[in-house]
Structure 1
């Protein structure tokens, strides 16, 4: 992919222009078009929505722990949600797959709660094509829909849009992608310095170099672990960590990015190619160091990573028990806080490079509405307020979630927490690889996670894992 373009549909020039041109106009959206702009206060104290229906009551939001007691409810009211509406943040399971299943159960039972839900951008489209979410384009005013499409990160807009009709079903809440957080203090002790740290922000080391750096730093320290990442048999292995190894080594699920979203049954399955097998071998080597991959990758990850997900590695790294960690951007803020008043010094870099470069899984969450909500007018007010700059800035300040608008990237660059690492964040954002989100991906990702995890645990060889994935995923394609 050319370095002057981004997977988000924003050129490097546009990205930099956006980060430098917000200024006073950045908060203009708060003055008009906010959550309460379409409502009116009647003489009897009631409030009506754009359809003329009264709004009020409780709107439940399937969000997460980061939104509880964070001031987000107050920020949404300040952004336009009428006082007649009570917003309740509900904490779902931490694992994305479990959250998906809980939402599926609620919709199958036609439950009215939650009214709104943050859905993973990787599994929203299957809900959309089954009409299991509200078509916002049919229910919300054209001006708001046009604002979202114009102002949002395009790749996130795409993940909330019906692939055939082009209608918008979900509004971006925050994009996410992984980076490497590392202990600068340990690397300094191993002989690396500021010039290395600066170079790595925009020219990350290869997997060979990276594993050597981690091995050196760990051998000269008393930390228990080297490099941490998420290798459990779960959704995150298929969509993200394996996808990153796969793509950096030159492999692909379906022959390349052009085929990620279909056509189902009429695209090549390429998980048994030499390059795709290299991707499995690289993941195995960084745990076991057996020299399987064409790159010389040392075994610097503990065997435990084959059973870990994001909270496991986050807590371990923040406790100072590892040299490096692969995790999402929000964990940068967590590490900054954890390292305060300690001798630990934080560094951030993009993911290591393979023969095909440095690639980062496209993650993030989008706001969707339950089709069985019994409080649609009030839920719409919450969605509109959440899109206001002031609410998104509060979300970033309180939960470390990136804003879903390029016009707010300068807010990240100016942040005391994220500003020092902005070059690394920008590089990672410019080198994103989506997951193959289609109606059959939920079944296919289970296959990928099962087979790759078995290879990580050395229950089968990378070749055996590749062969099994090739056969099983091909069968799913043919039956679709």
Structure 2
């Protein structure tokens, strides 16, 4: 890019704000990578670098692109597929580090749980190990909120390099909504002024009733990390509730902030999530039951594959899901639409997501691993991961590349709105324990095992106890 503006006039400053200048908020596996073969010592370049990445990075040419971007031919790169949900990835990485295993050498860590690893010195301090010029480039070129999630909160040292930011959107079947009486003016309006939860569920219900699709609205309600940090966080925030009284307290001080999960507005957030499945009229908004009970057991791959098969009217998922839907709908009568998440009394809230590259402190092939990190920051590599996996680039200067994309570019306005309305998760040293409580209690409410009030009371009591013990 020759200057600081995209063809549509979106400045670098605007993009920084849009993609998460909201401050600090976060895929792992074990396979032959720590054995460095010809470059056995951590100071020599060669052997195999194992990257705890994910299925989307397999068979898309990442290894070739990394070599083209500067990784010496003496280094083999192995992409390892970890568990699909973020909590299991975190646990597998923790197990490997606790056992002082050399594999994986590198790992994509969730921006929501990287800082606890950093403060325990369970990741390599890249500021100490990599050259100053590269660190300066990352700080200058990267999306600030992603950099913050990989930075030690006390020392300010950089431990992780952004790989891709992410945030949720609603993908929907325009063809079904057209049959229900909605048209292009509605679709255009929703990009920057999404409907309320009540309006949205009415739209979904109308579209489903006039079609033969199996499901209405799909989202992720399983008892896992994504429910606590993301989907419930979105219901909670849009309804006016909060974990700790508001965004100013998300990151502490632990033990000296209010726990507000039993307020009326926070209970409204649980009720909204329950209503969208069961339609019992619990929340103050007239939310219809348009989601199947199955969503209480589903995570992202479940809803993604179901929507791409044409079996649902709408889906809440991350930006990377757009590319899959575009490919799946090609050559069919299905027409894709994208909008931000619906609005509650407190507006439209989107969980801040994304993944960053970290290094195992027990790697025995550090020199080669550093070469992979440096190459991954080059534009052609980041463009490839966007082209092949729809992962957004972590550099503001590359956002024009997204705008010009045939697959994702048409949905730029909706993406920008979502990015401008991000809500981080409360990432602190105690959040890993707290999020398990949130996910367990909210999931119990979704399954009708507890009332929203009972779930809220249980969360309030247990999380307050953790705050008191840790303060």
Q: Encode CA deviations 1:79-121: one digit per residue, 9 max, x unaligned.
A: 1111111111111111111111110110011000100000011
Q: Equivalent residues in 2 for 1:16-415 (5 A)?
A: 16-18=10-12, 53-415=43-405
Distance 1:389 1:356 in 2: 38
Distance 1:19 1:218 in 2: 41
Q: Does 1:418 align with 2:408?
A: yes
User: What is the root-mean-square deviation of aligned Cα atoms in Å?
Assistant: 2.1
Q: CA deviation at 1:16?
A: 1.0
Q: CA deviation at 1:479?
A: 1.0
Q: Report the 3-state secondary structure (helix = DSSP H, G, I; strand = E; otherwise coil) of the residue aligned with 1:202.
A: coil
Distance 1:469 1:12 in 2: 45
Contact kept? 2:430, 2:466, Cα under 8 Å: yes
User: Cα–Cα, structure 1 residues 163 and 206, in superposed 2: closer, same or farther, change >3 Å?
Assistant: same
Compute the TM-score of the two structures, normalised by the length of structure 2.
0.92
Q: Encode CA deviations 1:274-329: one digit per residue, 9 max, x unaligned.
A: 11011000000101111111111000000110011111101110110000000011
Q: CA deviation at 1:398?
A: 1.1
User: Cα–Cα, structure 1 residues 15 and 139, in superposed 2: closer, same or farther, change >3 Å?
Assistant: farther
User: Cα–Cα, structure 1 residues 359 and 13, in superposed 2: closer, same or farther, change >3 Å?
Assistant: farther
Contact kept? 1:56, 1:84, Cα under 8 Å: yes
Q: Encode CA deviations 1:116-171: one digit per residue, 9 max, x unaligned.
A: 00001111011000000000001011111111111111111111011111110000
Q: CA deviation at 1:72?
A: 0.6
Q: Provide the aligned length of Structure 1 versus Structure 2.
A: 445
Compute the TM-score of the two structures, normalised by the length of structure 1.
0.90
Q: CA deviation at 1:434?
A: 0.3
* Structure 2, gaps ≥5 residues long: 16-37
The runs of 4+ residues in structure 1 deviating greater than 6 Å are 10-15
* Structure 1, gaps ≥5 residues long: 1-9, 22-45
Q: CA deviation at 1:54?
A: 3.0
Q: CA deviation at 1:17?
A: 1.5
Contact kept? 1:19, 1:408, Cα under 8 Å: no
Contact kept? 2:5, 2:11, Cα under 8 Å: no
Contact kept? 2:170, 2:316, Cα under 8 Å: yes
Contact kept? 2:7, 2:400, Cα under 8 Å: no
Contact kept? 2:173, 2:313, Cα under 8 Å: yes
- What residue number does 1:454 align with? 444
Q: Report the 3-state secondary structure (helix = DSSP H, G, I; strand = E; otherwise coil) of the residue aligned with 1:164.
A: coil
- What residue number does 1:36 align with? none
Distance 2:106 2:393 in 1: 19
Contact kept? 1:226, 1:301, Cα under 8 Å: yes
Contact kept? 2:6, 2:399, Cα under 8 Å: no
Q: CA deviation at 1:390?
A: 1.0
Distance 2:312 2:5 in 1: 36
Distance 1:332 1:435 in 2: 23
